[in-house]
Each structure stands twice: as structure tokens, then as C-alpha cells.
Amino acid sequence: MSNPKSLGNRVGSLECDNTTLHLLKANDFVAKAIRERLKDVCVINVCSSPGSGKTTLMQETGKRLASKLNMAVLVGDPETERDAIRMREAGVNALQIVTGGMCHIEAQMILQALDHINLEGVDVLFIENVGNLLCPSAFDLGEDYRVTLLATTEGDDKPKKYPRMFLTSELMLVSKSDLLPYVPFSVDAVTQDAREVNPNIEVQTISTLNGEGIDVWCEWIEEKVKLKKEKAALAE
């Protein structure tokens, strides 16, 4: 069965020139190599616009799961290592990928980064993608699951504006739910739009400020890690 991210790449590439088509094919090849290398590690690609709360969520997730799972994070940003430093200060094993101004992470960057982060005994590897709802959606990073954060401060019209991101995501996290009483954002409307784009997408509402939904999010991670380990055991 073809990977849904790869399928999305190929479909989208039909509108691009041959150079882009070849780039995405090469990216898919490297993504496959990442999956082969991380057969027993659950890989979750976390995407969003800038400022949606990805890094804070990763910090809180690391704290909540510290006694249950061994977690590592690859953090993508155009410049600086600030987010990885924040992760490590919170006790999370993290490595920064500085893209040098690029608006997304590519699979080759992940493959190279794997040689510089200790993954011994790691149960779940998060990829905190560059803040962008457009470019990252086209690149398969060898992940098992793609999760997209959508902050209540962004407006509830994003799934129809950036459909490929939501089409290729298994889960949409509506973040900063503590602000719902103060912003014109409808969880029902954004859920309806997201499911019109992708009928299978799961939706959770979270707040790292008051803790709403974080336990449910962590339970989702634990379940996906369990499924990955069961799959790896069956393949042996």
C-alpha cells in the first residue's frame, strides 16, 4: 500500500515542473529508508503555523510521559537553536535542525540528524516541523503519523485554505482552547471543515495552560507507540 503522504506528494506534483517532481520522488525514497531504520520507533511529525504552541506542547508531553515512554524530539526552525534548548531544559532529549531559511524539513535532513541524536531505547520520536501550513505538507519525513496543531487564535477557516496539510494528517489538535471564550473560533466549524477535507481525521482540543485535553493527547501517543511495537514484533 502506498504511503498517504507520498500519494499526496505525487498528486500535488502533477502541477509542478519536472524538477519538483524529481525532488519529491527522491524525498519519498529517503523517507522509506527512514522507516526501515526506525522499525520499532513510533515517529510523529508535528506541524502547524508559527506560534500555535508546538514547542510548549512538546515540553508538556515530555513531562507527562517521562515515567512511561522514552521520548526524543527533532526540532526544525529556519534559524537559531532556541526551541531545542527549551526542550533540553525541560529534560527532553532534543536536537535542532536549522534549515537555513527553508520553510520545511525534508527527509534527507531527518536521515542525517538520526546520526547525531541518541535513539537507544527511544519509544517515540517527534519531529517538530517548521512553522508553516503549506510547504511541510508536501514532504513525507518517514513518519508513522502526522499531527497538525491549529490554534484558536488563527481562525477556524484553515482546513479549507490549506487542505493538503489536513488531508495528510491523522490528528488535528485545536490548541489554546483556554482562549475560546475570547476569540471568534468554532470547534464545531473547524471540525466539520477538516472532516470534509479528510473524513478520517481525529480531532482533539487542548490547552497547555490549563491542561485541558493533554491527558487524552498523551493516551493517544501511548496507543500509537503500542501499535508500532506490535507491528514491529509481528514483522520479526
For the chain, domain boundaries: 4-235
Q: Are 61 and 218 a contacting pair, CB within 8 Å?
A: yes
Q: Are 144 and 44 a contacting pair, CB within 8 Å?
A: yes
Please return the burial class of 89, using the count of CB atoms within 10 Å of its CB with bins 0-12, 13-18 and 19+. exposed
Q: Which of 91, 1, 39, 52 is nearest to 232 (CA)?
A: 39
- In single-letter form, the type of residue at position 40 comes to D
- The string over 194-232, giving b where at least 16 C-beta atoms fall within 10 Å of a residue's C-beta and e elsewhere, is bbebbeebbebbbbbeeebbbeebbebbbebbeebeeee
The CA-based angle 180-182-187, given to 5 degrees, is: 25
Angstrom distance (rounded) from CA 151 to CA 205: 10
What residue has cell string 490554534?
Answer: 151
The model's pTM: 0.90
- pLDDT tens for the 236 residues of the chain, in order: 335 454 333 233 334 455 556 778 899 999 999 999 999 999 999 999 999 999 999 999 999 999 999 999 999 988 888 888 988 988 899 999 988 878 889 999 999 999 999 999 999 999 999 999 999 999 999 999 999 999 999 999 999 999 999 999 999 999 999 999 999 999 999 999 999 999 999 999 999 999 999 999 999 999 999 999 999 999 87
Please report the pLDDT score of residue 181 as a whole number: 97
CA distances 50 to 18, 130, 131, 200, 231, Å, are 30, 8, 4, 25, 34
Query: Any idea which fold 4-235 has?
Result: Rossmann fold (3.40.50)
Please report the pLDDT score of residue 78 as a whole number: 81
Angstrom distance (rounded) from CA 236 to CA 234: 6
Please report the pLDDT score of residue 235 as a whole number: 86
Please report the pLDDT score of residue 20 as a whole number: 56
